[in-house]
Structure 1
Amino acid sequence: MHSIDLTYMGSGIHEELIAHVADQEGYFEDEGVHVALRDGAVWKIERVRAGVTIGLGRTLLSRLTDGIQWTALAVNTHRPLFWFLGANGVQSMDDLRGRRLAIHGARTAPGVFGRIVLRKHGLDPDRDLECVERIPGDYQMDLRRLRDGSIDAAYVGSTLAPEQVANEEGFSVLCWVGDHFQIPTVGLVVDPARISLDDPALQALVRANKRALKTIAEQPSLAVKYITSMLGRLTSEEAEQHYERYVRPYFNSDGRVDLKVAQLGVAAVATELGIPVGTADQMYLPAL
């Protein structure tokens, strides 16, 4: 049996769902590959290069800034699963002006995506509001700070379901990033200088990933079961609503990239970072 490391860059169903389904349904074993799923959220990029990673966003930034020739072999979705949540009278994106927003760092992939969406709503993240940078985890500290009023809004990821949290806590869902900005953010990406693109273990991993994508598209009840198990605050009904709103319409069933969407997204990221695009959009070509 072959073996390979697979690293996720952040917790939540955005990065973990497809790998979790492939693992739990035995797809890795069927393909003859042992996959060690690793938490690389705080790893330096050099360590991430040793294996395959799910995080297309961070590797795109690395390709743009470090010149590492990251290459994507599968794209799970073009819709980043991040949301803006408001409290303390913040009920719309316009209400963020002059308020305190907890958000990822400006030079991180989620942070860049968030800043692009802020600008689309006419907000300069450096002048029109106070961006409070924090190291994200499961966002429970953000919820605590929203409750105590030390922040007015938070930019959160898929370790929680925003509508359920908002209803329970009295917060407002201000917007979903995926409605306003599209770019491949999760899938399978590798540095060919470290792992050959025709490596048998890598190819087996890609096949299992695509099979898991097909499963969540064709077996909604199974997908909802896994979402319920991963988002422990949700009832089955709430998990089904989350799946129907954010997963079923937007996760690919075949791992292919929409190159036009990718090119527009990469250009927007490069503009936000103030650097040239170069050949960064070519990282997705194998996923065509």
Structure 2
Amino acid sequence: MKAVGKFLIGISVLVFIVLAGPILTECAAQPQKFKLAYVSPSGALAVPWIAKEAGLFEKNGVDVELIFIRGASTMIQTLVSGDIDLAHVAANPAVEANLGGADVVILATALNRPVGFYMMGQPGVKSVEELRGGRVGITRFGSATDFLSRIALRQFKLLPDRDVAIIQLGGIPEIAAGLKAKVVTAGFVSSPLNLDLMELGFHVLVDFGRDLLFPHAPFIVRRATMKQRDQALRGVMRAVAEGIKIYRTQRDFSIKVLEKYTRTSDFKKLAQTYDTYAPFLERIPYVDLKGIENILAEISPRHPGAKSRKPAEFVDHRYVKEQEDSGFFRTLYGERS
């Protein structure tokens, strides 16, 4: 009887494995859920949108939820709390958070320059020098708009918070609205919002795009997430690289994606937005460490510890380097080894 019982149990297990095998395989193949947040509806941050719309995340085994979180400081706080897995926001808030003890690091960047990011002035203001006694709108303290506004003012011998007031408005669309309502005298906005303002007579006062190294569209993560979700991150970063390639090379598709996420229907403005960013996208998305050096130099007066830190401490290129070493980029761009 014992032998018969063991035989029946063995048969039952075998039947279960045969019947359940396809189900278990399907479950194992299910994409891993992943939360990726972006800080602004700007063409500078379009790579994850393109990867999502092209099905690149799913192709690489990841089910990515794209989340819009307004404000760099809020974004980094949400990342540090573990409520999102990856943040797509300018590098300076990540550097400051790291200096403050947060376990965050930059993995890659789509842009190493703040292209398509302009300080716009009221129609009657044609130079930065004319901002003395005025008000500059930013999203939040510690954001890219704050960082670049302070650099711009100091370049023209104006002291932020003394010669010119710095006003938090919440987001880049709110800066554009504040300019239109004359709440502020100037403020940084990105494409395509700058095009709307130019039609209304606003002037470009500063364009750092070609002159300043500053990681403008990096991907930031907690080191804990790298340990806990390494496989998912590999899939995400592979999809990001493929998304950059599409953004660089597929103009019509990219413009359609920009239309959806920026909620702009004007084809001319969308085309100008695409043409602004595409030439500057990094083929291999390494972070230029000179850009981190620039951030450390700018924030060192309020972060004394910044002077002793090396730019490489804020960056982890492991995924990009693995891709490059494996020949992934050569294959992606159809190049011979």
TM-score normalised by the chain length of structure 2? 0.74
Report if aligned partners of 2:70, 2:171 keep a CA contact under 8 Å in 1: no
Q: Separation in 2 of the partners of 1:58 and 1:151? A: 23
Q: Separation in 2 of the partners of 1:77 and 1:106? A: 22
Give the Å deviation of 1:279: 4.2
Provide the residue aligned with 2:27 in structure 1: none
Provide the residue aligned with 2:222 in structure 1: 191
The equivalent position to 1:116 in structure 2, one of 151, 156, 166, is 151
Check 1:84–1:234 CA distance in 2 against 1; reply closer, same or farther (3 A cut). Answer: farther
Which fold has the larger relative contact order, with Cα–Cα distance below 8 Å and residues 6 or more apart in sequence?
1
Is structure 2 residue 50 aligned with structure 1 residue 18?
Answer: no
Is structure 2 residue 242 aligned with structure 1 residue 207?
Answer: no
Check 1:266–1:99 CA distance in 2 against 1; reply closer, same or farther (3 A cut). Answer: closer
Is structure 2 residue 198 aligned with structure 1 residue 166?
Answer: yes
Check 1:130–1:88 CA distance in 2 against 1; reply closer, same or farther (3 A cut). Answer: farther
Q: Separation in 2 of the partners of 1:263 and 1:145? A: 30
Give the Å deviation of 1:154: 2.5
Give the Å deviation of 1:198: 7.0
Provide the residue aligned with 1:62 in structure 2: 97
Report if aligned partners of 1:164, 1:234 keep a CA contact under 8 Å in 2: no
Provide the residue aligned with 2:328 in structure 1: none
Give the Å deviation of 1:40: 3.4
Provide the residue aligned with 1:133 in structure 2: 168
Q: Classify the secondary structure of the residue corresponding to 1:193.
A: helix
Provide the residue aligned with 2:182 in structure 1: 149
Aligned positions of 1:1-288 closer than 5 A: 1-15=31-45, 17-41=46-70, 43=74, 45-49=76-80, 50=82, 51-55=85-89, 56-64=91-99, 66-80=100-114, 81-136=116-171, 138-139=173-174, 142-158=175-191, 160-167=192-199, 169-196=200-227, 199-233=230-264, 235-245=266-276, 247-259=277-289, 261-271=290-300, 273-277=302-306, 278-279=309-310, 281-286=312-317, 287=320
Give the Å deviation of 1:280: 5.1
Structure possessing the higher radius of gyration over alpha carbons: 2
Q: Number of aligned pairs?
A: 280
Give the Å deviation of 1:213: 0.4
Check 1:199–1:124 CA distance in 2 against 1; reply closer, same or farther (3 A cut). Answer: same
Give the Å deviation of 1:225: 2.6
Report if aligned partners of 1:104, 1:110 keep a CA contact under 8 Å in 2: yes
TM-score normalised by the chain length of structure 1? 0.85
Give the Å deviation of 1:69: 3.3
205-214 vs 74-83, greater mean Cα deviation = 74-83
Q: Separation in 2 of the partners of 1:59 and 1:29? A: 28
Q: Separation in 2 of the partners of 1:107 and 1:187? A: 16
Check 1:10–1:92 CA distance in 2 against 1; reply closer, same or farther (3 A cut). Answer: same
Q: Separation in 1 of the partners of 2:77 and 2:260? A: 32
Paired AA for residue 251 in structure 1: L
- The superposition leaves residues 93-118 of structure 1 with CA deviations (integer Å, 9 ceiling, x where unpaired) of 22212222222344334312221222
Paired AA for residue 270 in structure 1: I
In structure 2, the gaps of 5 or more residues are: 1-30, 322-337
Q: Classify the secondary structure of the residue corresponding to 1:253.
A: coil
Give the Å deviation of 1:7: 1.9
- The superposition leaves residues 169-225 of structure 1 with CA deviations (integer Å, 9 ceiling, x where unpaired) of 121121224345321132322111233287110100000000000111122232223
Report if aligned partners of 2:43, 2:274 keep a CA contact under 8 Å in 1: no
Q: Separation in 2 of the partners of 1:173 and 1:153? A: 9
- The superposition leaves residues 76-95 of structure 1 with CA deviations (integer Å, 9 ceiling, x where unpaired) of 11123532111151112222
Check 1:144–1:210 CA distance in 2 against 1; reply closer, same or farther (3 A cut). Answer: closer
Greater fraction of residues in helix: 2
Q: Percent identity?
A: 23
